[in-house]
Amino acid sequence: MFEDKTYENLMKEKLAQVKSTIDKREGSLIHFACGANSAEAAQMYITLEWMFRQMFGDTADREYLAKIAYDTRGLIPEAATHAVLKGKFNIEVKSGIRFSLDDLNYYVSDFIEQKDGFFYYQMICETLGETGNRNFGDMIPIDYVPGLTTCELTEVLIPGEDEEDTETFRQRYFNSLNAQAFGGNRIDYIEKVNAIPGVGGVKVYRAWNSELKPAEFIPPAETLEWINGLSDVPEAVKTWLDAVYVAGKNQQLTVGGTVKLVIIDSTFMVPSEVLVDQVQTAVDPLQNAGEGVGIAPIGHVVRVEGVGEEMVDLSFALYYQRDWTWDDVSGYVTEAIEGYFKELAESWADQDEALVVRISQIESRLLSIPGILDVANTKINEEAANFTLELDYIPVLGNITPMEITIS
């Protein structure tokens, strides 16, 4: 807005207003006075330019973007979270006992299960952010634990997340303006579930309890007579049948109001059962289904599921430069294809249709690898065609079968 208000332009404007009969050459008193004033004015315009930028969501710096988003939409940047991993021990261990692996420390949290002679616990990484997702293997106890011979990190249960970066937060702010969230509509579920630590994306479906139509839940006239004629039925079962009959007769049984949420974790992989259960509890606890105890409004019965994964095997003929072999490029090939599959997983939540693994995308990435001149005869799961996954499934790289052809 004030791009032309530079020191040089301001000096020209000021000196132009001084009479020609007055000495205004460089070094003169007038030139010196105008120079000092122009420098101050130029700095003022720079400050004004910065202030104008802070007034709008698309140009504001992080501090002022956060103020705008909070004042207008009640949004704040998502904070960094701790990674939760699964620890395997040969004995029971107390909550709070600390362990170390590489440069990170962990402490024991909740007990998960006892299986095959081992005890499994949730382990919390003391360091915030995604860095807590990377370490697996044998830990070293910081606190002495008698009888301990096995202490191992086996998998990530809830991925740690870094603090939300400025541009991601800016886009979330704009998204909140484009689609209004209220009272359990689709956008409301998406916003609130995505805010749960460990969740990387969610799809919301209008779900049905079964193939039955609402009218089919109304019991026929002879149902009550059948219930009353039952013998050798526990009293609790009889009471339950009576309650179901009355609810059905009064048309209080319905397939309406049910919602299915499918989530992916923040590393864009299949979520752990622990994360799915955590989201279920936050949205609509199973023991209080439909009562509005969680995020879901009263009357919404919500079921949370995780995305599935589908193995994708690849084969292709690679044409190499002289002196290049599969051993030279195999690591780059795996990295390129896994990168493509991660891009697909990252786009899953924004897609209405099932994901498609495309031959053209695979070949274009292979051709960007040094040493590979051409790619031919690409097949996905033994078919020379694009591969469409099941709905709400993400691809996972299986076997790679290359055919080597060296060009001299």
CB–CB of 102/132 below 8 Å?
no
For β-strands 308-320 and 393-406, DSSP reports them as: parallel
Q: Model confidence at 279, in pLDDT bands (50, 70, 90)?
A: very high
Which of the four pLDDT bands, split at 50, 70 and 90, describes residue 262? very high
| Cα separation, 245 vs 229, whole angstroms | 14
Mean pLDDT of 387-396: 96
Rounded to whole angstroms, the Cα distance separating 290 from 274 reads: 21
Mean pLDDT of the chain, nearest integer: 88
Give the integer Cα–Cα distance in Å for 338 and 395. 9
pLDDT reported for residue 30: 83
The structure tokens listed for 300 are: 């919404």
Give backbone dihedrals phi and psi of 278, rounded to 5 degrees, phi first. Answer: -65, -40
Whether residue 222 is predicted with pLDDT greater than 90 in this model: the reply is no
Residue 321: helix, strand or coil by DSSP? Answer: coil
- The residue type found at 324 is W
CB atoms within 10 A of CB 273: 10
AA letter at 79: A
- Residue 373 in tokens: 């001149």
For residues 65-79, one letter each, b for 16 or more C-beta atoms within 10 angstroms of the residue's C-beta and e for the rest, the string is bbebbeeebebebbe
pLDDT at 127: 95
Q: What Cα–Cα distance (Å) separates residue 91 from each residue in 99, 118, 145, 154, 298?
A: 15, 7, 10, 16, 43
Q: Which two tokens stand for residue 271?
A: 């979520």
- Cβ atoms of 281 and 295 within 8 Å: the answer is no
